[in-house]
A and B are shown apart, each in its own frame.
Chain A
Amino acid sequence: MYDFEYHRAASLDDAAGKLKSADDGTLVAGGMTLIPTLKLRLASPSDLIDISGLAELSGIKAEGDAVVVGAATIHAAVAASSDVRAKIPALADLAELIGDAQVRNRGTLGGSIANNDPTADYPAALLALGATIRTDHREIAADDYFEGLFETALDAGEIITQVAFPVPEKASYQKFPNPASRYALVGVFVAKGPSGVRVAVTGAGLDGVFRVTEMETALAENFSPDAIKDVSVSADGLNADIHAGADYRAHLIGVLARRAVADCT
């Protein structure tokens, strides 16, 4: 790890100010990706601005027809939240499947989606549920937010504050973990909600999370596993590595989508 200046932000404004004045500053909340990157000397930020304790970024609350989760909320809190469990159980299930207990007690929702790792779990939930990302400047629809591998619609210096998840009629997340890292080799989030039926896939796409519209159309007509049993997902554009070829990932998307539909509650 190279040397850097550490700052604990006093407020959201303070964090934004410190980030702006730093040479090459970066925000840190849980640090579950950033700290290993620093330890491997793959990044050398001048300043780390810690936003993990900020009141503006914390808390989970029901807000009309949505559940709003503060960006600095740890995965364990989402998994344990009675609001989330009651309104969007699939989201609580997803949070419970992230990493291990240590990661779930440090890693945050905001950190996960700001990083937009193509094998992270949360992006599938945001896209399938039609969530809205709130920042210190604006609101961004999930559909417009994920822009590819580790790329998002966030501007430089923009800070995620909350994510609003519309409550669906039913939803399920099915994850096939990478046997080594336990990130999603393939993760499929199926939701039937205000934005219609959505099938979002993480882990598999070369450009990160994506939707399978052919399945969505079929499910909109007939919400049952059988409705998508003949929908084949193309291996084009899917990731291939030592754990799974693109064709196997494509196959798993089908299997997991059917299981998600069957599991939808």
Chain B
Amino acid sequence: MTDTGIGAAVRRKEDHRFLTGRGTYTDDINRPGQTYAHILRSPHAHARIKSIDVSAAAKASGVVAVFTGADMAADGVGGLPCGWQIHSKDGSPMAEPAHPPLVTDKVCHVGDQVAVIIAESRTQAKDAAEKINVDYEELPAVIDMTAAIKDGSPLTHDDVAANICYDWHLGEKEPVDEGFAKAKHVAKIDIVNNRLIANAIEPRVAIGDYDPSSGEYTLYTTSQNPHVIRLLMGAFVLQIPEHKLRVVAPDVGGGFGSKIYHYAEEAILTWAAGKVKRPIKWTAERSESFISDCHGRDHVTHAELALDGDGKFLALRVSTLANMGAYLSTFAPCIPTYLHGTLLAGVYTTPAIYVEVKAVFTNTVPVDAYRGAGRPEASYLLERLVDRAAREMGLDPADIRRKNFIPADAFPYQTPVALQYDSGDYTATFDAAIKIADVDGFAARKAAAGKAGKLRGLGYSTYVEACGIAPSAVAGALGARAGLYESAEVRVHPTGSVTVFAGSHSHGQGHETTFAQLVSDSLGIPFENVDVVHGDTGKVQFGMGTYGSRSLAVGGEAIMKALGKVIDKATKIAAHVLETSEADIEFKDGQFTVAGTDKSMAFGDVALTAYVPHNFPHETLEPGLDESAFYDPANFTFPAGCHICEVEVDPETGVVEVIDFTAVDDVGRVINPMIVEGQVQGGVAQGIGQALLEECVYDESGQLVTGSYMDYTMPRASNLPNITVANETTLCAHNSLGVKGCGEVGAIGSPPAVINAVVDALSDFGVTDIAMPATPEKVWRAIQSAQAAG
């Protein structure tokens, strides 16, 4: 390990510009002659548009143009496409209602896009919007999923019966029924995974630009995956060929999934820029973010676990309703299915599992991936259910887990729900976490807390997730309409410095540092000599973007593959210069050496020679040193670990304080331990947020009650404990770096640990369940009802 290579806690390159305010975010970009767009949004959850009168707005001061859905439709603009197709149990494809960027006849959620006003200033655009007269005929809205699938419920889309997008299943029913038939105990749980809003610090922004002289469109946007936006918007919505469409996603201030998707505003602005032939900028206001950024989670689940007399799991049955919101967002259908149903084996040897998922349309903002995406929902229900089974059977929650872990010598391990785990050691992460969290000392801490009038509880979560998304062949077979490989180009400059063009996109993950470490390590050159470029389809050859903890396990592997090609080519050049055969060249620490001699050449000299090829045999050796690669993973990667949470509850007020949190994760090989620690801490903060604070609430009419920070509770520093992060590593068996991914483990592992701790704290009162978020009022009520029940 060099001091800047693999395994070094190098300080992040990008932080200097972020911390000194020198980042370039989309809103920092201004184009000459720029205009400003305001989106008129629906105030109703469900309404038919009888008419729209934009005449007064069009004449208002500073207004350049006003467009409605009719204008876009007249231009042949398509609907926003869905990137994943799920088939129901009966083989039929999912319902895929039209999703026009600007609605034409009906609004389906509060915030739905009705018109765009383009003006010389933001204020003028907003003033003009107030002059638009929309005649709405309000329709009954459907918000609650359970009600939505009942006969006679209002329909979000007239052509989608019972609001059901699909009715999917996985696993075999018969062996599960057999498992339940021979069970000595069955544990059951009804569980809600609360709806969340990502709330990235930077709101979404888009700038559409059109150059009439070249016919080229440019979209600047806050995106986690600019190439995917170019593909979806160009091919499906606006019919602009790739060579005439550039998408730039510069510095992006947080995404957590919410900036993966192709959003209506991107298509509206790009299209409208072509109409008005001037650049147009749209910057979401925070209250607009709440009703237009995709939401996350929102599952209602019933699950049952069959156990033998010793607490060994025999079978698992899961039935879930998953909210899609009003339309299908880009990846929405795959979240509750292939990122949730497939994870239900968890870290356990449960031999038979059957899961069914109904995806449901409601008059709410579309729901899609949010940090963890499907996997937190799986780990939460599983880990709550395992804890409940232990309590009901009088078993220690640690023992019941240990008894059911997939043993370390069982890998590769085929689960009954499609996935094959390649590596892991669940006992190792568990033991390490128990030691760090000082579980042995808990009883004494509980007693001390009791003396101070507090209830102390400890909760475990042992989880596995599937990330490094994804092997294209598998994803394709499961309904993905895109490949999920990654690409990279390593351009070695004549003086030996390197620019990496990466298809993944950093919006907080520190790719500029981690990827530079890979290059520094491989080529033996200084870390400072490496720059990473991402987020611009005009610069980067291709990419599928950053989500699903894929940047290192897939994108990093693409870089390693390109680096391999660079080293191969450089070896050829060195062999030529040193007048020997390639086989005799050894490359180590940045030096090409003729084996067994002191004849050698530094990497920088080889690079220079590549671009000054005065005596190259041009039939066999090309000048230049610039290689690109595409990497398609052989399998998902499977980070796993154990999180342990300790809480104290004030029984008088119901306030839960997280006292201590331990996360021991196996994320595969760690490239930069400081970045990994930060990623895990951030994920745990969001997990604690979900468990104790955050919840998106709609009223019955479909108005968003938690439409601002006055009511939507974000986690703050004072809500968080000191989070201890450690790693126990097994290497990924199918990639060269042995890496698995660390971006989502915190959000996946932590919520059940927190809730199990709260339930543990309240168990003396006889409380067996508490719903997320475990707000003070809910905890207080749980204590009240348990006491009343006696």
Contact = CB atoms under 8 A, between A and B. Distances in A.
B710 A179 contact: no
Contacts of B697: 242
Contact of A242 (B709, B711, B780): B711
Contacts, number: 37
B706 A176 contact: no
A181 B711 CA distance: 6
A41 B127 CA distance: 10
Interface string B99-124: 00000000000000000000000010
A180 B653 contact: no
A253 B777 CA distance: 13
Interface string A38-72: 00110000000000000000000000000000000
Interface string B692-708: 01000100000001100
Contacts of A255: 652-653
Interface string A229-246: 000000000000111110
A242 B705 contact: yes
29 contacts: A1-B123, A40-B287, A176-B653, A176-B776, A179-B693, A179-B775, A179-B776, A180-B706, A180-B709, A180-B710, A180-B711, A180-B713, A180-B714, A181-B709, A181-B710, A181-B711, A242-B705, A243-B711, A243-B775, A243-B777, A244-B776, A244-B777, A245-B777, A248-B777, A248-B780, A248-B781, A252-B653, A255-B652, A255-B653
B236 interface: no
Contacts of B781: 248
A248 B126 CA distance: 41
Interface in B522-547: none
A245 B697 CA distance: 15
A103 to B, nearest CB: 13
Nearest to B712: A180
Contact of B706 (A41, A242, A248, A252): A242
Nearest to A183: B710
A251 interface: yes
Contacts of A40: 287
Interface in A1-22: 1
Contacts of B775: 179, 243
Interface string B704-730: 011001111110000000000000000
Interface residues of B, number: 20
A242 B775 CA distance: 10
Interface string B758-790: 000000000000000001110011000000000
Nearest to B652: A255
Given A40-B287, A242-B697, A244-B777, 20 more contacts: A1-B123, A176-B653, A179-B775, A179-B776, A180-B706, A180-B709, A180-B710, A180-B711, A180-B712, A181-B711, A242-B706, A243-B775, A243-B777, A244-B776, A245-B777, A248-B777, A248-B780, A248-B781, A251-B780, A255-B652
A98 to B, nearest CB: 15
A180 B715 CA distance: 9
Interface in B721-764: none
A38 to B, nearest CB: 12
Contacts of A242: 697, 705-706, 711
Contacts of B710: 180-181
B115 to A, nearest CB: 17
Contacts of B777: 243-245, 248
A241 B705 CA distance: 10
A251 B779 CA distance: 13
Contacts of B709: 180-181
A243 B777 CA distance: 7
Interface string A244-265: 1100100110010000000000
A171 B706 CA distance: 35
Contacts of B123: 1
A109 B709 CA distance: 23
A241 B776 CA distance: 14
A164 to B, nearest CB: 32
Interface in B657-715: 693, 697, 705-706, 709-714
A179 B713 contact: yes
Closest 3 CB pairs of A and B: A180-B713, A181-B710, A179-B713
B38 to A, nearest CB: 12
Contacts of A251: 780
Nearest to B780: A248
Contacts of A241: 711
A41 B126 CA distance: 10
Contacts of A1: 123
A181 B709 CA distance: 6
Nearest to B127: A2
A125 to B, nearest CB: 22
Contacts of B711: 180-181, 241-243
Interface string A18-40: 00000000000000000000001
Contacts of B653: 176, 252, 255
Nearest to B695: A242
A1 B122 CA distance: 10
Nearest to B699: A242
Nearest to A245: B777
B788 to A, nearest CB: 13
